[in-house]
A = this chain, B = another copy of it.
Amino acid sequence: METIERAADRVLEETGTRFLDDPQTIDILKQAGGVATGDVVRLDGAELRRIIRRHAPAKFLLRGRNPARDTLVGGAGPPIFAPIYGAPNVVLDSGERVAGSRQIYGELVAAAHAAPGLTNTGQMICVMEDVPEDRRPLEMLLAHLSRSDKPFMGSIASPAAAEAVIDLTAAAVGRPASAGACNLLHLINATPPLTYWPNPLKCLRAIALKGEASMVSSYMMMGATSPVTVAGALIQGYAEVLAGLALAQLWRPGAPAVMGILAYPFDMRRMLPDFGDPASQLVQLYAAGLGRRLGVPVRGDGAITSAKIDDAQSGAEGGRVLSAAVGSGASFILHASGWLEQGRTVSFAKLRRDAAALAEFGHGKPADLPPLPLERDIEMEIRSRLSRP
């Protein structure tokens, strides 16, 4: 872990990170000691860790419209599971494959709500292809609020959309963000290698200033947008998320944040990432360790797969990725159900089937082994077994 941190520190300090077209970000990083040359800022990794460790909460409450649905992100409880995020296509129960729509979106949220295994209804489960882009954030919000009372994720379509969804959700939940509690978690992606685009930077700022949560993620394709090795991907991804996580704390000390370092080998023949590859599981296990050292909750991926249908490949790839995420101690597991075809498709049947399996993962994270209940009663049961004739 220290080797990764030291190597990432050298990358951050000697190479720097590119923050595209967002002078406010560059200004605040300079105030924190960064050295800017154009849009590339060279940063002190050890200082970024100090900022994060000092301010970022180790756990926070992510609330639902129904307080009984509130979930704790981080800490010893079970991981939170949210459905696939961002699928343009949908496989209906009839088997028909169609483009996402407003109506289907509502049905997907209802399906996620009905599944006990999902404790978060996510965001952009499918793309509403029949709704103009600027209307989608509020249409999705309406679906999440009207078809479910579970917590869900915020919009990152634009800073204005993020803010509007935050304010309306706070009104619906009836409890604005406070220390250690918020209503929405937002997916803030770095753009590997070592780059943040303007919209995620502006959204990160708007979200942090509202006291809402960001899941700062680096999603790498090993051999394409990152080095091909586990070590190289970890070093690059850690450098990227360290910058983003520290930024959130610079904008608002104490802003809830989750760390995600995800990396999948890029298949040069198919020009697609290779989900289920064991290298990605090793990245997840290290990432969780790096997150624990930072003191922030960690993201994992769920049953993701390259398979086009829910077959042996889909099961094996998804089972391995999910199990690695749960085993790593990840606190928030995205794409936990419904994912097919490199994430290009959400399937109603798979969403329900994956979620049924997730319902069994009701125990705490293995990294924080759960307490053993009823110790003496269990011993009595074992004794009675031996003494049977």
Contacts and interface: CB of A to CB of B under 8 A. Distances in A.
Nearest to A193: B385
Contacts of A320: 319-320, 322-323
Contacts of A311: 311-312, 315
A236 interface: yes
Which are the 6 A-B pairs with shortest beta-carbon distances? A315-B315, A319-B319, A323-B323, A315-B316, A231-B372, A232-B378
A18 interface: yes
A320 B319 CA distance: 5
Contact of A236 (B40, B353, B382): B382
Contact of A227 (B15, B194, B353, B382): B382
Interface string A352-389: 01000100110100100111111100110111011100
A364 to B, nearest CB: 9
A128 to B, nearest CB: 28
A249 to B, nearest CB: 24
Given A317-B319, A381-B227, A375 B7 contact: yes
Interface stretch (A46-54, A61-69, A209-217, A272-280): A272-280
B383 A15 contact: yes
Interface string A262-292: 0000000000000011110110011001000
- Main secondary structure, interface of A, reads helix
Contacts of A229: 373-374, 378
Chain A interface size, under 10 / 10 to 19 / 20 to 34 / 35 or more: 35 or more
Contacts of A236: 382
A248 to B, nearest CB: 22
Contact of A363 (B230, B316, B327): B230
B3 A372 contact: yes
A358 B349 CA distance: 29
A338 interface: no
Contacts of A281: 323, 326-327, 366
Interface in A334-361: 353, 357, 360-361
A361 B278 contact: yes
A171 B47 CA distance: 62
16 contacts: A3-B371, A7-B375, A10-B379, A11-B382, A193-B382, A194-B382, A227-B381, A229-B373, A235-B375, A235-B382, A279-B360, A282-B370, A285-B369, A286-B366, A316-B319, A323-B323
A21 interface: no
A318 B316 CA distance: 7
A7 B378 contact: yes
A194 B38 CA distance: 70
A303 interface: yes
A230 B360 CA distance: 13
Interface string A23-45: 00000000000000000100000
Interface string A184-200: 00000000011100000
Interface in A286-307: 286, 289, 303
Contacts of A310: 312
